[in-house]
Amino acid sequence: MSMLSVKRATSSRSDAAQAVAEVRRALEQTDASLVILFVSARYDLAAVEDALRGAFGCPVIGCTTAGEINSGGYTAGGMVGVSLASPNLFVHPRLIAPLDSFGLVEGEQLAGELHAELRLSDDFDTRRMFSLLLVDGLSMLEEQVVATLHRALA
C-alpha cells in the first residue's frame, strides 16, 4: 500500500467558479494533506479565491501562471492542481508578504514559528524533509527570499 495518495486535475473552463468546482471534484480524497493549484492569470483571482473558500478540508497553496502543463501538454488559460494525502505528510503553509520587505529578521521569525510547529516522530529522517516555495517571478526577489530562508532555517 502506498503511503502517499496523489490525485491530479485540470480544467479549461473560463468561469473561475466552474473551474474550481471541476478541479475540486477531481482532487477530492479522504484526509488530503495539501492541495496545490496553478491558476492562469486570466482568471478573475477574486472569484477564484471566493470559490476556493471552504472548498477543501486541507491547506491550499498555489500561484498564477502564464501557462499550465497537464497530461495533454502545455495549455494556457486554465487551472491545474494536485492533491496529496498521507498520514506522514505534515504541511505548514505561510504567506510571505510583502516580499520586498522580507529580510533576515522576518526570515528568522518565520523559521522560529515553523520550528515550533514541526511534529517529528522518533524515527524522523531529516533527508526526507523538504520545503516548497512559490515566489512571484515578476518580483525579481526569488534569490533574496531563498537566501534569507536558507540562512534562517539552517
List the one residue out of 69, 65, 153, 147 whose CA is nearest residue 114: 153
pLDDT at 2: 62
CB environment 38-65: b (16+ within 10 A), e (fewer): bbbeebeeeebeebbeebbebebebebb
Per-residue pLDDT tens over the stretch 122-137: 777 777 777 888 888 7
Q: Is a pLDDT exceeding 50 seen at residue 87?
A: yes
The percentage of the chain sitting over the pLDDT mark of 70, rounded to a whole number, equals 97
| The one-letter amino acid at 154 | A
Whole-prediction pTM value?
0.87
Least confident of 23-27, 59-63, 147-151: 147-151
Cβ-based neighbour number of residue 152 at 10 Å: 19
For the cut 70, the answer to whether the pLDDT of residue 64 exceeds it is yes
Sequence-ordered list of residues with C-beta below 8 angstroms from that of 121, at least 6 positions apart, any chain: none
Q: Which domains does the chain have, with CATH numbers?
A: 1-87 (3.30.1330.40), 92-154 (no CATH)
Joined grid coordinates for residue 48: 477564484
Give me the pLDDT at residue 137, please. 78
State mean pLDDT over 28-33. 94
Check if the beta carbon of residue 4 is closer than 8 Å to that of residue 31.
Answer: no
